[in-house]
Structure 1
């Protein structure tokens, strides 16, 4: 039998264009940063994680914020002493003051180069096939309440240019996109966005869709949401205080900054130069904090990766890979065990908390589809994550995601657990059999599995170590099961089961909530029954 279940976690939004060279960027010698109210100098002792029901099973909605306070710790004196000073010109860029006068001269647009590390295959996307792209959306973010043991969030190794798919690649189609704010010759403006690492920038075209659609990628939304997440999760408190909106500003959310307010105002006014200036101000501020080590210090003070932070990164990955091939995921035979469906990030986040999955654990997804859950656990938790899938189209999408995941997490300056994706059946894979013996948490979306398939899986789970947890949508052990003298040899007696609730918009195939089950390997139940009944 060749059964493979598909539990997936779709995500939305994205980034994904090619980039212009930095040498061709606009001159910035006389510009001053965007209305920063105080100078974020480096102190001697610094301190220190919308949705609507999907219209179809492959769509996910825009995420909102997770409001858990960040964990902080005081740095050692050695760490403080080792911090490099901000270069003089970088400090000048962070100096307080009003915005520079809007430039009146023509703004030269940077030319794109072919050696910027972007995917050549993606850059060659034609206008015709771009019209078929769809963007899956993710569920609403929930608070991350499970605090794992300490992990290092900072990416290891020397900085290098990430070979990622740039946003400009996704908006190349003239059939789908038009310039958002007209500049010379009706050509879309181009801009590079700095990320919290030394891996360079991602390059965007400032375009909008010709026809309103919730399914297609929106580059300016991508820019604005990325800046919000970076400002909220990466910046030291001393810097956050300087970029808060002024008292006269209307603040609509906890992530509002002078950058987000300024971008919105420039977009509403149709002022492309002002929009680009604000992004460049942000780039200058962030690059200085990367170079002086403040960003890395802030990451080292944290023990968890909140859900909204993960979703922003994975939304970018998903939009540049899986969304381009989403139609192929619908090609499966209904009425079989091979049916595609996804667990959304909010539900996976609950499962992480309930199972207390930690960075030193091993996670296995049986029927991993496009690999969403494997990537979520590897990034959000930092654990060794395995997935196995036998359907060919999801496997192809999973490999695309894995490659973009490696590049984009470096761009965000983050470490991850090891990602392992296998193409095959979990009933016939010896490598997965060996991994299951070491696994701490196993996930299987058995929503459509037959009783025979579930029983065969349960037999495999007998090799799990004591205390290992199996998460499923249908129970492997009947609720009314009680150990008796007549059934004490049943496989059911080796597990105790917990029942948990999930809420609306947690899975891709229905909008309403339901239950999931956690079966815990516990052979002490049988031993206790035997002792109580004089059976050894």
Structure 2
């Protein structure tokens, strides 16, 4: 059972210090896997930092391979290792999907578990980046290329895909914006490798498969990008070319992987590239994006996972480096849970979101991408802040590549009780997220004082309620800031947080002075 199973019983619980564990990263999967990590620390201003109680058990991951295509049973299987129950290195889990594994397959294309509904359509949301669809959008820009993940010191952990020799022909992939194609190829020398890291015009992926379970899967990402584009960028009248169950590009990709045919795979990718280029040039993609008023969660997760795999995952061990004498562990709220919070709070693109204790910035980026709102975060752990800065830089580049216009993001270093920029933005915030499960009563009380300056209607989302159960406004507590809060208790489902796979409760406190005013007027 997970550490936070204790919370389901509604009483006090004790911490059992164990080895710290960092949330693992599953690199590129059609359906993103869940992660497990544990929590809680005495007094931290970082809600993502929680004290340790490691879960060594790993739940097997569910997958469906392209080889399950009934029309294309392979005589052999591409030799991509299957997933094990436990991995020695941290693994990204940006998805809140439930996963179990029962197949020994390669290039797995897996069904997505049921997810909560995304935020409601927002008529004010402008989803398309005009810059990304302009001539300027085709110019090179800095970003982390997939080839950088699988080259250099890690090159020995990969082998050529489709049974090819060491040197393979590049595979180019066109994204829906005006940016040049992404190239999947093994870099030959340091000069080429340096170019891969610098310019999108030479954006390349190694056409390789990993030798073990932990590494980046280039071929999987090609399939994932194509399926995401087909699901979100293609007008209905053009969808058959992608989705036809017999001749569609998506079906052809699965069939090529099932029979381990590099030729068929490349032909399907080439046809995809031609179709996307045509639809972009004739304005069909831009027109559809302009009519889109919300992003669904799988679409958001795909982009966030690309960003995380290129920035945090290669450096995730740095999150284990804590000050002497602490047993903190890094834990996160997963995208499905966060997306549901956006829906419950009715967060809109015209509003302001603040995450107090933002860790590596996942939630801040998700709010800016999924909702399009102005999004702020504050974190005091130096290593987490460094990774957050890398994510923010890659986030801007990836959004441009996907042709999307996110909300503005602001990541602040330091104590959120002392940073002036955070104190000021809280006064105009519409939704504030505080993962205060690990906070001491003292720190929670200090936070409560800041609620006095928040505007009417501001919603504060937390894992611990700031208002004690059964609290009533009385003459003796008339000056308490918690009298300004109206609290609702909500439930979150299993696999919503990284430290346990069980569900729990969270709270939405809305600043509402009407009850206090009613008491003052003798109406309560």
TM range (shorter): 0.7 to 0.9
Q: Structure 2 CA distance, aligned partners of 1:493 and 1:419?
A: 32
Q: Structure 2 CA distance, aligned partners of 1:379 and 1:314?
A: 9
Match of 2:301 among 290, 307, 311: 311
Residues 336 and 384 of structure 1, relative CA distance in 2, 3 Å threshold: farther
1:209 corresponding residue in structure 2: 210
1:445 corresponding residue in structure 2: 435
Residue 54 of structure 1 contacts residue 60 of structure 1 at CA under 8 Å; is this kept in 2?
A: no
2:290 corresponding residue in structure 1: 300
1:298 shift after superposition? 0.3
Residue 149 of structure 2 contacts residue 216 of structure 2 at CA under 8 Å; is this kept in 1?
A: yes
Q: Structure 1 CA distance, aligned partners of 2:91 and 2:379?
A: 22
Residue 23 of structure 2 contacts residue 91 of structure 2 at CA under 8 Å; is this kept in 1?
A: no
Q: Structure 2 CA distance, aligned partners of 1:14 and 1:406?
A: 19
The answer to whether residue 280 in structure 2 is matched with residue 290 in structure 1 is yes
Deviations 1:69-105 (A, max 9, x none): xxxxxxxxxxxxxxxxxxxxxxxxxxxxxxxxxxxxx
2:126 corresponding residue in structure 1: 152
The answer to whether residue 163 in structure 2 is matched with residue 182 in structure 1 is yes
Partner secondary structure for residue 476 of structure 2: coil
Q: Structure 2 CA distance, aligned partners of 1:396 and 1:527?
A: 45
Q: Structure 2 CA distance, aligned partners of 1:9 and 1:476?
A: 27
1:145 shift after superposition? 4.7
2:494 corresponding residue in structure 1: 504
Q: Structure 1 CA distance, aligned partners of 2:384 and 2:284?
A: 40
Deviations 1:305-337 (A, max 9, x none): 111110011110010001011111122359979
2:232 corresponding residue in structure 1: 233
Deviations 1:352-387 (A, max 9, x none): 001110000011111000000000000100000000
1:202 shift after superposition? 1.7
Partner secondary structure for residue 278 of structure 1: helix
Residues 419 and 387 of structure 1, relative CA distance in 2, 3 Å threshold: same
1:415 corresponding residue in structure 2: 405
Match of 2:503 among 503, 513, 524: 513
1:89 corresponding residue in structure 2: none
The answer to whether residue 270 in structure 2 is matched with residue 280 in structure 1 is yes
Residue 373 of structure 2 contacts residue 408 of structure 2 at CA under 8 Å; is this kept in 1?
A: yes
2:221 corresponding residue in structure 1: 222
1:431 shift after superposition? 1.1
Residues 133 and 524 of structure 1, relative CA distance in 2, 3 Å threshold: closer
Structure 1, unmatched stretches of 5+, are 1-7, 16-49, 65-130, 250-256
Q: Structure 2 CA distance, aligned partners of 1:320 and 1:284?
A: 27
Q: Structure 2 CA distance, aligned partners of 1:154 and 1:306?
A: 15
1:139 corresponding residue in structure 2: 96
Q: Structure 1 CA distance, aligned partners of 2:172 and 2:33?
A: 31
Q: Structure 1 CA distance, aligned partners of 2:523 and 2:118?
A: 44
Residues 261 and 328 of structure 1, relative CA distance in 2, 3 Å threshold: same
1:171 corresponding residue in structure 2: 150
Partner secondary structure for residue 475 of structure 2: coil
The answer to whether residue 176 in structure 2 is matched with residue 196 in structure 1 is yes
Residues 449 and 156 of structure 1, relative CA distance in 2, 3 Å threshold: same
Query: 5 Å matches for 1:101-112?
Result: none
Q: Structure 2 CA distance, aligned partners of 1:436 and 1:483?
A: 25
Residue 34 of structure 2 contacts residue 93 of structure 2 at CA under 8 Å; is this kept in 1?
A: no
Deviations 1:183-223 (A, max 9, x none): 3x432442111000001122222211112x1x322111111
Residue 454 of structure 2 contacts residue 511 of structure 2 at CA under 8 Å; is this kept in 1?
A: yes
Residue 434 of structure 2 contacts residue 462 of structure 2 at CA under 8 Å; is this kept in 1?
A: yes
Q: Which has the larger radius of gyration?
A: 1
1:422 shift after superposition? 0.8
So what's the TM-score if we normalise by structure 1? 0.73
Residues 176 and 11 of structure 1, relative CA distance in 2, 3 Å threshold: closer
Partner secondary structure for residue 529 of structure 1: helix
Q: Structure 2 CA distance, aligned partners of 1:523 and 1:339?
A: 38
Residue 90 of structure 2 contacts residue 313 of structure 2 at CA under 8 Å; is this kept in 1?
A: yes
Residue 119 of structure 2 contacts residue 346 of structure 2 at CA under 8 Å; is this kept in 1?
A: no
Residues 339 and 374 of structure 1, relative CA distance in 2, 3 Å threshold: same
1:62 shift after superposition? 8.7
Residue 148 of structure 1 contacts residue 356 of structure 1 at CA under 8 Å; is this kept in 2?
A: no
Partner secondary structure for residue 181 of structure 1: helix
Q: Structure 2 CA distance, aligned partners of 1:275 and 1:241?
A: 19
1:61 shift after superposition? 10
1:339 shift after superposition? 4.9
State which drifts further: 185-194 or 379-388. 185-194
2:457 corresponding residue in structure 1: 467
2:242 corresponding residue in structure 1: 243
